[in-house]
Amino acid sequence: MRFGLLMSATLVITLLPPAAHAETVRFRYVPLDACGRTGLVAIGPDGAIGELYRGFGLRPRPYYQAPVPTHWVTFRHSNGNCVIVPLTLPQGEPRVETRSDRIVYHCDRYEVEVRFSPDGGVEVWYNSGWLRPLDF
């Protein structure tokens, strides 16, 4: 019974188009000056500015297009310095969750996670959620 259910679930997931799976895009920002300004650096395969994770794929794909920022948010980094990070947030008021090393914005269309790296950098993860493509 369990094997049949597992095979059915695997078949359904396999038949879904790739765009229907969850999509996650990661960008990395590093400090540029003492005022807190940050700059986007290339972290993706083949020199892309971002990494795209689609579905259950563990290998990142290149993501060449930076999202157009809607907000410039100033955070106090875990190292004590202020950093200004461009974020693309949809309209509406997100639910904000804070943790020791990150801040998560739960929006209607996607989730934005801002992670603070020990080296002073910031990673921004955009996650569409299950069965939705990421649309900025």
Which residues are within 8 A (CB) of 90 and not within 5 positions of it... i.e. 6 or more apart?
Answer: 107, 108, 109, 110
Dump pLDDT digits (tens) for 85-115: 999 999 999 999 999 899 999 998 899 999 9
Q: How confident is the model at residue 1 (pLDDT cuts 50, 70, 90)?
A: low
CA distance 37 to 77: 12
pLDDT given for residue 57 in this prediction? 65
pLDDT given for residue 22 in this prediction? 78
Dump pLDDT digits (tens) for 43-98: 999 999 999 998 766 789 999 999 999 999 999 998 999 999 999 999 999 999 99
**Pair of tokens at residue 72:** 């410039």
Query: Any idea what DSSP says for residue 23?
Result: E
User: Is the model's pLDDT at 7 over the cut of 70?
Assistant: no
Domain assignments of the chain as residue spans, ordered by start: 18-127
Among 22, 24, 19, 23, residue whose Cα is nearest residue 123? 24
Q: Bin 36: left if φ > 0, else alpha if -120 < ψ < 50, else beta.
A: left
Which residues are within 8 A (CB) of 66 and not within 5 positions of it... i.e. 6 or more apart?
Answer: 27, 40, 49, 50
Reported pTM: 0.80
CA distance 55 to 60: 11
Pairing of strands 50-54, 23-31: antiparallel
CA distance 75 to 134: 25
Pairing of strands 71-76, 82-87: antiparallel
User: Is the model's pLDDT at 18 over the cut of 80?
Assistant: no
